[in-house]
Structure 1
Amino acid sequence: MIQAVIFDMDGVLIDSEPMWQQAELEVFSSLGVTICPKRQQQTVGMTTKLVTAHWYQQSPWSSMSLDEAEQAVLQQVATQINAAGVPKKGLLRLLDHLRQAELPVGLATNSPGFLMDTTLQKLQIRPYFSTCCSVEMVTEGKPAPDIYLLAAKNLGVAPEHCLVFEDSFTGMTAAKAAGMKVCALPAEHDWHHSKFDAADMKLRCLSELDFTQLNLRSALSNERSCC
């Protein structure tokens, strides 16, 4: 039975993947890296540090340090979130449902803390979360399971009783390695890809979620299930 729910952030709480792609395109192109959308798909779900290292290996630059390039990307994403960030369709309905069921909710993201705070503040959803874990809080980001295990520990729930909402294969791999159940939200171009077959459930959008599909423990009543 599910006793806690943990959300990824980018692509799950907010449609920020286009913002990341645009920021990476602008920053790395300015450094002489040739980037196209197809090549960018190789880095979806990675930490910004790993993405920066990936493009540096493809085409080394000398005009700024890797840390400076990483920070330039992060600042551009934060600016875009503040300007145009909105909750993903179906998110607020789901969060309200989980609150009514009195189920603990966590956030586990490969993004740094300041970007996590920017997103939560922009969407005005921080009160829904009992714990918020960013990549600096663990030794290894996703696909390592560390951040999901930390979120479960903070929520006081065993990993096998946690349900994770993830949009990337990297994130799904991390959650499954942590021993959790996963509801995958693949991008349209990845919908039929076999790599998401390991997910316990697959949705195109949170608004498609039928609450009767979830076996959630409600703190309100031992006889009540999520509906």
Structure 2
Amino acid sequence: MVKAVIFDMDGVLIDSEPFWQQAELSVFSQLGVKLTAEQTKQTAGMTTQAVADFWYQHSPWQGQSLAETEEAVIQQVGQAIVTQGLAKKGVHTLLQQLRQRQIPTALATNSSQFLMDTTLQTLAIHHYFDAHCCVEMVSKGKPAPDIYLLAAGKLGIAPADCLVFEDSYTGISAAKAAGMTVVAIPAADEWHHEKFAIADAKIRCLSEFQLTRWC
């Protein structure tokens, strides 16, 4: 029986993946890195720092540090969230159900504190979460299990009793490494990809999730 629920943020609570794609294409193209929209999928779920380092190793640039590049991407994504961000289908309903049943709930994201706060404020869902965990709070981001273990610890629930919602293989790997049950929510174009087989279940959106079957 699940005793707590932990949510990833990007791609689970908010359809922000297009914002990340647009920001990365904009920032890295200005630095001379030739990217396509398809190539940006290679870094889905990574920390922004890891993404900057990944593309620097692929095509080194001069004149702007990795930290400055990371911040440029974050600021563009943040602006897009404020002006265009919408909760994904089923988010508010499920969060309300969890609150009504007094099931502890946490957020565990590879995004920064700034983007976590921006998203929660924009979607008006901050109050639903008993714990908020972002990448600055751990030494290693996903796919390391650190952030999920931190979230479970803050909730006071054993990892084995936690259910996680994730959309990326990176995030699913992190949650499984933490010893948690994982429900995958793949992007439509990745629904049939075999990498999601490591998840315990797969749904197309949170509206499909039946809470009474798990909690």
Q: Deviations over 1:92-129 (max 9, x none)?
A: 00000000110000000000101100000100100000
Query: Are 1:103 and 2:103 matched, yes or no?
Result: yes
Q: What letter is aligned with 1:70?
A: E
Write out per-residue CA displacement over residues 200-227 of structure 1, whole angstroms, 9 at most, x where no aligned residue.
110011111223332x1xxxxxxxxxxx
Q: Partner of 2:186 in structure 1? A: 186
Aligned residue in 2 for 1:162: 162
Tell me whether 1:77 sits opposite 2:71 in the alignment: no
2:47 alignment counterpart: 47
Aligned mates of 2:114, 2:172 — CA distance in 1: 23
Alignment of 1:46-65 (within 5 A): 46-65=46-65
Query: What is the identity percentage for the equivalent residue pairs of Structure 1 and Structure 2?
Result: 62
Shift of 1:34: 0.4
In structure 2, the residue matched to 1:17 is 17
Q: Which residue identity is paired with 1:23?
A: A
Q: Which moved more, 1:61-70 or 1:72-81?
A: 61-70
Q: How does 1:87-102 map to 2 (within 5 A)?
A: 87-102=87-102
Cα deviation digits, residues 137-172 of structure 1 (max 9, x gap) = 001000000000000000000000000000000000
Question: CA–CA distance in 1 between the matches of 2:95 and 2:151?
Answer: 17
How many Å separate the matches in 2 of 1:12 and 1:205? 8
RMSD (Å), alpha carbons: 0.7
Tell me the distance in 2 between the aligned counterparts of 1:210 and 1:158: 22
Task: Give the unaligned 5+ runs of structure 2.
Answer: none
Match of residue 116 from structure 2: 116
Aligned residue number for residue 204 of structure 1: 204
Secondary structure of the equivalent of 1:197?
helix
Q: Which runs of 4+ in 1 moved over 4 A?
A: none
Equivalent residue letter for 1:208: E
Q: Determine the structure 2 residue equivalent to 1:220.
A: none
After superposition, the C-alpha distances for 1:10-43 in whole angstroms (9 at most, x for unaligned) are 0001000000000000000011000012211110
Letter in 1 for 2:106: G
Which letter does structure 2 place at the counterpart of 1:87?
A
Question: In the alignment, what sits opposite 2:6?
Answer: 6
Question: TM-score, normalised to structure 2's length?
Answer: 0.98
SS across alignment from 1:14: coil
Q: Which entry has the higher C-alpha Rg, 1 or 2? A: 1
Offset of residue 77 of structure 1:
0.2
Following the alignment from structure 1 to structure 2, what is the Cα–Cα distance between the partners of residues 68 and 6? 31
| Separation (CA, whole Å) in 2 of partners of 1:54 and 1:142 | 15
SS of 1:107 mapped into structure 2:
strand
How many residue pairs get aligned? The number is: 215
**Equivalent in the alignment of 1:219:** none
